[in-house]
């Protein structure tokens, strides 16, 4: 495959991907399951590598080492002459690539290729731990290090700094971020109904998403979902409902009929995604409660548990693209929630659409009436504590990506949306200074390095908690939390 080309569908499809593209050239519901290769261009001067056979052996070894363990494909190309440089420069015009010097005397080639790129990473593969010691030593012997520092300084002095990649893990994170951004740019998101009027900080204009992020937002009237719901029979929804009820016997006010109606919403949303060749949806859910006498909570939970789609509630499209971006990074859990911000460097997250799995680990839950309306059914998922988490939101008119690290801890039940977790953060003040809206997206694990790369590749600001603000402030183990005396429902 030529550098810079997107991998062909037959080479990148997960099982079950349709064989025929739609009118956009995209494949329905595939963006989250399509692999995008990151071009990695190795540069070798014949002054330092006069033996072509030896150079090829070293290059092949390097490719094998760096591909191992990468979450996204790496597409390697060797440049050791002006003709090859011209071909690669033409192929990669306005794209993203990582430049990897294998020797000195390649700085002019690095500069020429970088000038044609939208974004450039610089792999310092001679550094300890990047390659095996024997392989890394060959790059040091041939002066790869001054080539890297000289090129990096050249870019910095001209206001177009390359991303410094000093470890193999950094290369893999950059590849993962590149793939996630390509997936986002290939996505189609359904906007079902209008954004709820109280969600005042979410971008409403579909065209803005295309301009800022490259993804497509397709508006649909809420009646399309209502019609799809009415076409779903109880028999068609029954297996979906059984999946929800088989794993819990805890019903608090809700009953099996409620679960059947909620399962019909799941089936209806899936059908709309398929009919519109979409990968995600944002749902104005409160009007639906009165229209259909059910809620979308189980449906959105199910979508966010799936491998190929996401769903955001209250018509919050900013949250939808954040959910999508995290899942595109292969996050095993994504959840949209309301933050309750304490002054003691912690927040409580609460909402009713949490997935039932974390990276394949099944979570216990019970089914209750919807918190605000007292109708339909919503899951109360018992989220695991004492784990690192990442909090994120794309916001400010899609101009910034706010990211905070945290540590999740179990918390006593409070009288608000059913699924809840407490998250200790480095600074409540900093969280408030960067707050972008009423919803934040949580995932388990530390995705700050990948999200930093994503912000760069998307051309938006990175805000939130910086590395030097984290320090050792986050608790490493469970700590006592106050019990809310006004809790209406006991903790599971």
Nearest to 181 by CA among 302, 95, 281: 95
DSSP classification of residue 284: -
Mean pLDDT of the chain: 87
For residue 398, give both structure tokens.
Answer: 């899609």
Mean pLDDT, rounded, for 43-61: 98
Q: Given this model, what pLDDT does residue 417 score?
A: 58
pLDDT in tens, 130-143: 999 999 999 999 99
* 200-228 pLDDT per residue, tens: 889 999 999 999 999 999 999 999 999 99
Burial of 306 from C-beta contacts in 10 A (0-12 / 13-18 / 19+): middle
pLDDT at 249: 65
Residue 207 CA to residue 34 CA, distance in Å, equals 24
Residue ranges covered by each domain of the chain? 9-182, 187-470
pLDDT at 311 over 80: yes
Paired residues of 348 in beta bridges:
340, 422
Give the sign of the dihedral formed by CA 362, CA 363, CA 369, CA 371.
negative
Q: What is the pLDDT of residues 235-250, one digit of tens each?
A: 999 999 999 999 886 6
Helix (H, G, I), strand (E, B) or coil at 224: helix
Per-residue pLDDT reduced to its tens digit, 357-382: 998 899 989 998 765 655 679 888 99
CATH class, 187-470 region: alpha beta
| pLDDT score, position 253 | 74
pLDDT at 329: 97
Q: Give the whole-angstrom CA distance, residue 131 versus residue 212.
A: 37
The model's confidence at residue 14, banded by pLDDT at 50, 70 and 90, is very low
pLDDT at 484 over 90: no
Q: How far apart are alpha carbons 359 and 168 in whole angstroms? A: 24
Assess whether pLDDT exceeds 80 at residue 386. yes
pLDDT exceeds cutoff 60 at 419:
yes
Is residue 5 pLDDT above 90, yes or no?
A: no
Whether 232 has a pLDDT exceeding 50, the answer reads yes
pLDDT at residue number 412: 61
- Please give the pLDDT value at position 468: 65
Fold: same for 9-182 and 187-470: no
The pLDDT score that the predictor gives to residue 343 is 94
Which residue would you say has higher pLDDT here, 26 or 68? 68
Residue 50: CA atoms inside 13 Å, Cβ hemisphere, count? 1
d(CA 419, CA 416): 9
CB proximity list for 45: less than 8 A, separation 6 or greater: 80, 103, 104, 105, 106
Q: Which residues pair with 320 in a beta bridge?
A: none
**Under DSSP, is residue 155 helix (H, G, I), strand (E, B) or coil?**
helix
Number of helices and strands in the chain (H, E): 17, 21
Q: Kindly list the distances between the CA atom of residue 127 and the CA atoms of 75, 148, 164, 175, 324, in Å, as whole numbers in the listed order.
A: 21, 11, 12, 19, 34
For the record, the structure tokens of 4 come out as 């810079």
**Per-residue pLDDT averaged across 345-351, rounded?**
93
pLDDT for residue 270: 97
HEC string for 399-414? CEEEEEEEEEECCCCC
The per-residue pLDDT for range 93-103, each reduced to its tens digit, is 999 999 999 99
Percent of all residues in the chain with a pLDDT value above 90, rounded to a whole number:
74
Report the distance separating Cα 262 and Cα 209, nearest Å: 30
What is the total residue count of the chain?
Answer: 492
| CATH number of this structure's domain 9-182 | 3.40.50.10940
**Cβ atoms 130, 169 nearer than 8 A:** no
**Is the pLDDT assigned to residue 186 strictly greater than 70?**
yes
Which residues have C-beta within 8 Å of that of residue 469, sequence separation ≥ 6? 426, 427, 430
Residue 308 vs residues 12, 13, 205, 240, 365: alpha-carbon distances, Å: 14, 12, 25, 17, 23
Beta carbons of 175 and 454 less than 8 angstroms apart = no
> What's the distance, Cα to Cα, between the start and end of the chain in Å?
53
Q: How far apart are CA 306 and CA 298, in angstroms?
A: 12
pLDDT, residue 248, reads 82
Percent of the residues in the chain that have a pLDDT greater than 70, as a whole number = 86
Q: What is the pLDDT of residue 303?
A: 96
Nearest to 102 by CA among 121, 80, 120: 80
């Amino acid at each position: 495959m030529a550098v810079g080309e997107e991998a062909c569908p037959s080479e990148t499809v997960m099982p079950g991907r349709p064989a025929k593209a739609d009118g956009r050239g995209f494949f329905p519901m595939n963006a989250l399951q399509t692999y995008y290769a990151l071009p990695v261009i190795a540069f070798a001067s014949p002054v330092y590598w006069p033996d072509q056979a030896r150079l090829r052996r070293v290059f092949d070894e390097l490719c094998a080492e760096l591909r191992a363990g990468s979450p996204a494909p790496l597409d390697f190309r060797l440049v050791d002459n002006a003709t090859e440089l011209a071909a690669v420069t033409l192929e990669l015009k306005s794209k993203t690539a990582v430049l990897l010097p294998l020797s000195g005397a390649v700085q002019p080639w690095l500069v020429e290729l970088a000038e044609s790129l939208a974004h450039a990473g610089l792999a310092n593969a001679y550094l300890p731990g990047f390659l095996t010691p024997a392989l890394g030593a060959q790059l040091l012997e041939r002066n790869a290090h001054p080539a890297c520092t000289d090129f990096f300084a050249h870019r910095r002095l001209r206001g177009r700094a390359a991303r410094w990649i000093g470890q193999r893990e950094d290369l893999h994170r950059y590849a993962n971020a590149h793939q996630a951004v390509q997936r986002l740019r290939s996505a189609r998101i359904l906007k079902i109904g209008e954004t709820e009027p109280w969600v005042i900080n979410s971008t409403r204009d579909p065209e803005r998403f295309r301009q800022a992020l490259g993804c497509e937002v397709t508006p649909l009237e809420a009646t399309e979902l209502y019609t799809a719901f009415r076409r779903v029979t109880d028999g068609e929804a029954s297996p979906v409902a059984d999946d929800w009820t088989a794993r819990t016997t805890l019903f608090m006010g809700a009953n099996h009929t409620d679960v059947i109606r909620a399962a019909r919403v799941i089936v209806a949303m899936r059908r709309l995604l398929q009919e519109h060749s979409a990968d995600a949806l944002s749902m104005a859910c409160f009007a639906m409660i009165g229209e259909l006498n059910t809620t979308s909570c189980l449906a959105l939970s199910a979508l966010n548990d799936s491998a190929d789609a996401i769903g955001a509630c209250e018509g919050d499209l900013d949250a939808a693209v954040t959910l999508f971006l995290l899942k595109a990074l292969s996050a095993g859990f994504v959840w949209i929630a309301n933050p309750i911000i304490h002054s003691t460097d912690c927040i409580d997250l609460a909402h009713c659409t949490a997935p039932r799995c974390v990276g394949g680990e099944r979570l216990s839950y019970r089914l209750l009436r919807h918190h605000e309306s007292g109708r339909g059914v919503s899951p109360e998922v018992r989220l695991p504590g004492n784990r690192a988490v990442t909090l994120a939101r794309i916001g400010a008119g899609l101009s910034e990506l706010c990211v905070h690290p945290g540590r999740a801890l179990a918390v006593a039940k409070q009288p608000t949306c059913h699924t809840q977790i407490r998250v200790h953060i480095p600074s409540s003040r900093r969280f408030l200074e960067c707050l972008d809206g009423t919803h934040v997206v949580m995932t388990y694990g530390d995705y700050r390095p990948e999200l930093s790369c994503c912000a760069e590749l998307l051309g938006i600001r990175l805000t939130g908690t910086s590395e030097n603000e984290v320090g050792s402030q986050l608790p490493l183990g469970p700590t006592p939390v106050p019990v809310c005396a006004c809790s209406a429902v006991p903790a599971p």
